[in-house]
Amino acid sequence: MSGGYNEIHPEPTTFWSKYILSFDHKVIAKQFLWYGIFFLGVGGLMAILIRWTLANPGIPFPVLGNLLFPASGGVVPPDTYSMLFTMHGTIMIFYAITPILIGAFGNYCIPLMIGARDMAFPLLNMLSFWFAFLSGAVLLISFFVPLGAADGGWTSYPTLSTLIGSPGMGQTLWCVAIFLFGVSSTMGAVNYVTTVITLRAPGMGYFDMPLTIWGLWLTAILNAIFVPVLGAGVILLILDRVMGTTFFLAGASATSGSGDPVLFQHVFWIFGHPEVYILILPAWGIVSDLLSFFSRKPAFGAKATALSMTAVTVLSTLVYGHHMFTTQMSPLLTQSFMTLTMTISIPSAIFFANWLGTIWRGSIRFDSPMLFSLGVVFVFGLGGLTGLHLGTVTTDLYLHDTYFVVGHFHYTMAASVLLGGFAGIYFWFPKMFGRMMNETMAKIHFWGTMIPLNGIFFGMLIVGYGGMHRRIYNPFVYESLQRLIPVNNIITTSALLMGAFQLVFLYNFIASLLRGPKAESNPWQVGTLEWTIPSPPPHHNYDVIPVVKCGPHELGNPNLKTGRDFQYQTEELVEA
């Protein structure tokens, strides 16, 4: 089974083999999707608790407050606040975005969009999910151990994350969970890279692959290379905490010998900066495809977009030092990292311009996947532009560790990826579940997300620029920051609104799953391979492996005589 011959696997017959220990990439994708949505809810609730505390310090959290924090009368206590921002970041990055964007879409789309029957290693694929599950379980258990969950921030810098800063078991379990998640991600990466290289349908060259696959493939390459770097870091941190080594202990905190806390920062960001692109590349790929599909015209400069994404992937490995400008790095190094960081703007600008070129004079269909894709263009533009201030040494020294940073990375890593994820869910839901989602509710969800989202993250940019530091329980004990209370109230109100509108999505998702109208095989009228087969696809995907004859974005060709405005990838290319 694990050899992967692209042959038809026997269909599972029992409940366990079909839904729990399934080898089928489509079932594993759905497992990752449910897993990601669950953690999105958990991480989202934490975000609301954080925002409530910042807007209403000392006031009990309504309804749930007394249940969650009975000892403090429903008020979020300071130590819990640290746990909340630590676990919110960890959960959203590793346990919500990664499973949805990479686990769900990677598993679902890669075999279907390249014309394969499954992943190269189905057993490894199943193990990848169950390692992620185990990791999630360990992370959740860490809330219930003495002294609670990890509270050293999602970056877990020593000495905050050593026994000096976090004496409880929570931080150790955090490290174990992250290590297990790394194993899961590496397994997935091995599978994705191998599948894309070896199981593409006959005739499908690399540039005939949809850009979604380019994004997922490049993400997998980055995962395979850089997740083990974090793995090494957390192993050493575990050894420091459990076995008594002193890798990250220095000065008075080291009883003998001397380690180096800053080394962890290097290790973390060597992984951490590519991680940003690990998360965002799939969203870029999805958006690049969807903009073309819903503009009813070929993706402008598709090859250049693919190559730009590749260039960003390469450059992302060389810029990590911009996260550490304030660690007394040599000016020569800071300037080198700054220059390399600025260089990323070039390929980013190319594919951003290509996105605009794609929608320019297109016959745009404002269906929900397109709305969310356009949302990504907007928020990623803002996120990218605010990144310039943080990549520049002089401005970063002022803005470092302020809410400006929080606003920036939420625009890039949260807003862009979240909207890209929703675009993907609305787009592939009919294929995944064979039913259509309610379009009106989807549009309400879009506007209910898009407007408050900007209220939150633009507000964060403002308060950060105003000098408000991140990770402070009650910043308004400082008189100079009290003028920022009104903006903070706007941010929190926006967060509550955005949270409320996610319930619309949840209702739409579940209701459509149960009783949505049946989906046709190709409801969006696009030509990539997955739309040539029924919705949902049969167990083995393709009765006959398709032969690819043209690219994925053949839309709007006036010479088409088929009565359609698009070509399937299996059709001979009609010259425009």
* Binding interface with another protein (CB under 8 A): 3-7, 120-121, 124, 186, 189-191, 193-194, 197-199, 224-229, 231-233, 235-236, 239-240, 243-247, 254-260, 263, 266-267, 270
Least distance (Å) from another protein to the CB of residue 267?
Answer: 6
Note the Cα 156 to chain centre separation in Å. Answer: 19
Least distance (Å) from another protein to the CB of residue 297?
Answer: 36
Nearer to another protein, 259 or 375 (CB): 259
Least distance (Å) from another protein to the CB of residue 254?
Answer: 7
Least distance (Å) from another protein to the CB of residue 178?
Answer: 14
**Long-range contacts (CB closer than 8 Å, 24 or more residues apart) made by 445-449:** 445/368, 445/501, 445/502, 445/504, 445/505, 445/508, 446/368, 446/371, 446/372, 446/375, 446/422, 448/497, 448/498, 448/500, 448/501, 448/504, 449/375, 449/418, 449/419, 449/422, 449/498, 449/501, 449/502, 449/505
Least distance (Å) from another protein to the CB of residue 5?
Answer: 4
Nearer to another protein, 241 or 470 (CB): 241
How far apart (Å, rounded) are the C-alpha atoms in residues 574 and 552? Answer: 13
How far apart (Å, rounded) are the C-alpha atoms in residues 121 and 125? Answer: 6
Least distance (Å) from another protein to the CB of residue 92?
Answer: 25
Tokens of residue 282, six digits: 């799939």
Tokens of residue 259, six digits: 């380690």
The phi and psi torsions of 566 (rounded to 5 degrees) equal -145, 160
Nearer to another protein, 21 or 225 (CB): 225
Nearer to another protein, 55 or 177 (CB): 177
Evaluate whether 275 touches 223 at the Cβ level (below 8 Å): no
Amino acid at 220: A
Task: Pick the closest to residue 55 from 534, 477, 474, 373 (CA basis).
Answer: 474
Nearer to another protein, 233 or 459 (CB): 233
CA distances to 66, 144, 302, 315 from 311, in Å: 51, 44, 14, 6
- Contact residues for 456 (Cβ-Cβ < 8 A; gap 6+): 51, 410, 491, 494, 495, 498
Evaluate whether 429 touches 512 at the Cβ level (below 8 Å): yes
C-alpha Rg value of the chain to the nearest Å: 24
Least distance (Å) from another protein to the CB of residue 90?
Answer: 20
Least distance (Å) from another protein to the CB of residue 22?
Answer: 20
Nearer to another protein, 66 or 245 (CB): 245
Nearer to another protein, 229 or 436 (CB): 229
CA distances to 77, 386, 460 from 465, in Å: 27, 11, 8
Least distance (Å) from another protein to the CB of residue 265?
Answer: 12
Nearer to another protein, 245 or 345 (CB): 245
Least distance (Å) from another protein to the CB of residue 186?
Answer: 5
Least distance (Å) from another protein to the CB of residue 224?
Answer: 5
Task: Pick the closest to residue 450 from 408, 421, 419, 424 (CA basis).
Answer: 419
Nearer to another protein, 233 or 464 (CB): 233
- Contact residues for 117 (Cβ-Cβ < 8 A; gap 6+): 6, 7, 8, 9, 111, 540, 541, 542, 545
Nearer to another protein, 92 or 254 (CB): 254
Evaluate whether 86 touches 154 at the Cβ level (below 8 Å): yes
Nearer to another protein, 235 or 504 (CB): 235
Tokens of residue 224, six digits: 């395979």
Evaluate whether 451 touches 500 at the Cβ level (below 8 Å): no
Nearer to another protein, 5 or 478 (CB): 5
Least distance (Å) from another protein to the CB of residue 413?
Answer: 22
The dihedral built from the CA positions of residue 348, 352, 354 and 355, taken in this order, carries a sign that is: positive
Evaluate whether 201 touches 548 at the Cβ level (below 8 Å): yes
Least distance (Å) from another protein to the CB of residue 314?
Answer: 15
Nearer to another protein, 140 or 235 (CB): 235
